[in-house]
Structure 1
Amino acid sequence: MSEALLVIDFTIDFVADHGKLTCGKPGQQIEPAIHALIEQFSSEKQLVIYAVDLHEENDPYHPETKLFPPHNIKGTDGRQLYGSLQQQYEQIKTHSPVLYLDKTRYSAFAGTDLDMQLRARNITTVHLTGVCTDICVLHTAVDAYNLGYQIVVHEQAVQSFSSEGHTFALNHFKNSLGATIL
């Protein structure tokens, strides 16, 4: 196993119409592509990582508190995976290599043991999916690049709040990080 799939922040709060910080329809439209990639990776017994934003309610020390409305609050339904991904996660975790990773910063690497988990499994390539292309996916990609991982971004499985931010990030992945865009 030298590759892993990261599903970044694909939660109710980031994707559902009633989510607290939703990218809405653009995020909802990528659900089938993410679902299919999870099926592919899990059927091949490759690692699937769900990197999920975690916040404490009214945390005055978290930098996002000043930037965004409260979202992905510990213990709320907003942290559940969106749509079919929650049920899919429940099904595959019993027979496939899966990690559910709480993260408190944009990057899935910041303040987590993700790098250690990947290296323990000899993973050299990370496939990135989820939201938001120009925030959490981008920051995860930059950290992956700085740690020496090969990066694959699945264009039909990432999305953001704005098409401008989404397009900027896709170009940055390719032109500044040497990522493969599929």
Structure 2
Amino acid sequence: MTTPPTTAQTALVLVDVIASFYRPLEANYYPDAPLTLDPIHLLLDQARTSDAFIVHAVERHRAGLEDFEFAKLPRHHQEGSADAAYVPGFEPVFGPRETEVTKRRFSAFYATDLDLLLREQGIRRVVIVGVKTNVCIRATAQDAFAGGFEVLVPRETTNSNRPHLAAASLEDIERYMGSVPTLDEALDALR
């Protein structure tokens, strides 16, 4: 039997806590997205006061260059654009236990160095938060599970403009990939 991961072996992965989803009038904004901010901030504060590793996984596309994703979605989150900016209060505090990973697809693991980065830090468990449950959160959780990480997706820290798809994604995460703890349980994992 393996021992449970310690806080030092736990990473908080914030996915796309950027203006595009949280600022009204931006292309990907939806009214329920801001409901995740207070719970995410509680986890971020807890992770910063403990020995947890923090990763800000943000979607950023190269300005002026073609990107396969644009065949399905309009241009978005280009480097330096307003919609790609962090939500105020969620900017990284760069240091030995906090960093940023940029991604160009839904999963924070696909074609990034996130897997390598986490393994080099001795991480065994990931707490994944952010938007949208049925797209980037689910893709990141699935790849984390496939890579052998214990996956936690706290219910209060994610949602979608398609609530039925968010519910189905959380059910699949709980059933097949990890767990969907309460906010309090996730806070305990970061203590």
TM-score, normalised to structure 1, is 0.90
Give % identity: 23
Judge conservation of contact 1:8–1:136 (CA < 8 Å) in 2.
yes
Q: Which runs of 5+ in 2 are unaligned?
A: 1-7, 183-191
State the match for 2:87 in structure 1: 82
Q: Closer, same or farther in 2 for the Cα pair 1:167/1:180, shift >3 Å?
A: closer
Matched, 1:118 2:123: no
Runs of 4+ in structure 1 displaced over 3 angstroms?
57-60
Matched residue type, 1:2: Q
Q: Which runs of 5+ in 1 are unaligned?
A: none
Matched, 1:108 2:113: no
Per the TM alignment, residue 93 of structure 1 is displaced from its structure 2 partner at its CA by 3.2
Per the TM alignment, residue 45 of structure 1 is displaced from its structure 2 partner at its CA by 2.6
Matched residue type, 2:61: H
Matched residue type, 2:97: P
Per the TM alignment, residue 75 of structure 1 is displaced from its structure 2 partner at its CA by 1.1
Q: Distance in 2 between matches of 1:75 and 1:107?
A: 21
Matched residue type, 2:62: E
Q: How many pairs are equivalent?
A: 175
State the match for 1:25 in structure 2: 31
Per the TM alignment, residue 59 of structure 1 is displaced from its structure 2 partner at its CA by 4.0
After superposition, where does 1:39-58 map in structure 2 within 5 Å? 39-57=45-63
Q: Distance in 2 between matches of 1:76 and 1:168?
A: 32
Q: Aligned to 2:56, what secondary structure does the other structure show?
A: strand
Q: Comparing both structures, which one devotes a greater share of its residues to strand?
A: 1
Per the TM alignment, residue 14 of structure 1 is displaced from its structure 2 partner at its CA by 1.9
Pairing partner for 1:12 from 19, 22, 39: 19
Judge conservation of contact 1:21–1:69 (CA < 8 Å) in 2.
no
Per the TM alignment, residue 149 of structure 1 is displaced from its structure 2 partner at its CA by 0.4
Q: Distance in 1 between matches of 2:72 and 2:137?
A: 18
Per the TM alignment, residue 63 of structure 1 is displaced from its structure 2 partner at its CA by 2.8
Per the TM alignment, residue 20 of structure 1 is displaced from its structure 2 partner at its CA by 2.2
Per the TM alignment, residue 58 of structure 1 is displaced from its structure 2 partner at its CA by 5.3
Q: Distance in 1 between matches of 2:38 and 2:46?
A: 12
State the match for 2:162 in structure 1: 162
Per the TM alignment, residue 57 of structure 1 is displaced from its structure 2 partner at its CA by 3.9
Pairing partner for 1:35 from 34, 41, 46: 41
Matched residue type, 1:67: K
Q: Distance in 2 between matches of 1:152 and 1:178?
A: 6
Q: Aligned-residue CA RMSD in angstroms?
A: 1.5
TM-score, normalised to structure 2, is 0.86
Matched residue type, 2:50: E
Judge conservation of contact 1:20–1:69 (CA < 8 Å) in 2.
no
